[in-house]
Amino acid sequence: MGSENIVKVVNVSKKFISKRALNGISLTLDKGKVLGILGPNGSGKTTLIKILAGLTKATTGEVSIADVGIGVESKSIVSYMPDRNYFYKWMKVKDAIELFKDFYRDFDESKCLNLLSKMNIPMEEKITSLSKGMHEKLNIALVLSRKAKLFILDEPLGGVDPVAREEILDIIISSLDEESSMIITTHLVRDMERLFDEVMYLREGEIFLKGNAEELRAAHGRTIEDIYREIFGV
């Protein structure tokens, strides 16, 4: 029997030619938990999750997902939603579904269709003609319709209006289960903080503060967002 850790990161650093993006990051995330990685742009959030998703390699340190080192096998159990678009311009919504079906053996088409119908996203609509909010909902529905061990959402509410934000949060909450974990990066802390079991504040590639969300609120006597504002001076 494996450990309850879905994510294990030990002393990970990432150096690019001109700068160090991550410096000695260590964290674990248990099955069934949601981790919020919080920090402004340039804090190292995207670099860290790209390492977890197998899209870039750590310079030093060790990373495993469900006891598997980063590679082909780990990629098959991670469902990653980047903060930018990855569809071809000619695609309709139904083509995006076909793409995911071809790409991922664990894709649950009926779950995805159910989510899209709840959100009133038509199959025949061209993706390029969807509003920003609709586009984000489509991305979320696709990514959360896999039977992955780890879901990674990079800025899932970026540029979305408040009504769409609520719908997206509802989808995320309804998709959580005890067999998988989720990592969400965001700077929209107020909207997202009710999702988080664990929180990690990243500043300039280093962990400034991390811990259980409830315990941090109790210890600091304030919300996760207020702690964020204090750390980053916003």
| Site of tokens 């938990």 | 33
- Residue 1 is predicted with a pLDDT of 39
- Residue 3 is predicted with a pLDDT of 55
Q: For the domain with range 5-232, which CATH number is right: 3.40.50.920, 3.60.60.10, 3.40.50.720, 3.40.50.300?
A: 3.40.50.300
pLDDT in 10s for each residue of the chain, 234 residues: 345 889 999 999 999 888 889 999 999 999 999 999 999 888 999 999 999 999 999 999 999 999 999 999 999 999 998 766 678 889 999 999 999 999 899 999 999 999 999 888 999 999 999 988 888 889 999 999 999 999 999 988 877 888 888 888 888 888 888 889 999 998 889 889 999 999 999 999 999 999 999 999 999 999 999 999 999 987
Residues 56, 59, 65, 69, CA torsion sign: positive
SS3 of residue 187 by DSSP? coil
Task: Looking at 7-105, list the stretches that DSSP marks H as alpha helix, in order from N- to C-terminal side.
Answer: 45-52, 72-75, 93-103
- Cβ count near 199 (within 10 Å): 24
Q: Give the DSSP H/E element, type plus range, for residue 114.
A: helix 109-118
Distance CA 159, CA 84 (A): 12
- Residue 70 is predicted with a pLDDT of 94
- Residue 163 is predicted with a pLDDT of 83
- Residue 4 is predicted with a pLDDT of 82
- Residue 123 is predicted with a pLDDT of 93
What residues does each domain of the chain span? 5-232
pTM, to two decimals = 0.93
